[in-house]
Amino acid sequence: QVQLVESGGGLVQAGGSLRLSCAASGRAFSSYSAGWFRQAPGKEREFVAAIRWNTGNTYYADSVKGRFTISRDNVKNMVYLQMNSLKPEDTAVYYCAARGSMVIPRTPASWDYWGQGTQVTVSS
């Protein structure tokens, strides 16, 4: 089993920055992938970013490319999402996810483990 716990959400003005953290535990992650998804009120959960744990290769949704950066700390088993130049449309609950494969799908249903989510609110 894998446990994921997010932190770092909050309220920020448009143009500001936040860093989300995800603490991962339960097994070795060398063959895993980790990702961030978000869900705004009334909308489906959508892919934001992902990283292959062993190589560090990263993938982004077009809507956040150039503004968000996903990274991981192999020693601490942490995944981060640095969010810069935030916009009101980035407001959502952000979820950390993991899957036991280095294949990275963008559909939420393909991911095996989820955190409880952390709220990010961007005011205009």
Look at residue 123 in the predicted model and tell me its pLDDT: 97
pLDDT string in tens for the chain (124-residue length): 889 999 999 999 999 999 999 999 887 677 789 999 999 999 999 999 999 988 999 999 999 999 999 999 988 999 999 999 999 999 999 999 999 988 999 999 999 999 999 999 999 9
Half-sphere exposure of 116 (CA within 13 A, CB side): 6
Give CA–CA dist 124/121, Å, rounded: 10
Look at residue 93 in the predicted model and tell me its pLDDT: 98
Look at residue 90 in the predicted model and tell me its pLDDT: 98
Look at residue 34 in the predicted model and tell me its pLDDT: 95
Look at residue 74 in the predicted model and tell me its pLDDT: 85
CB 31 within 8 A of CB 100: yes
- Among the listed residues 26, 107, 35, the one whose alpha carbon sits nearest the alpha carbon of residue 72: 35
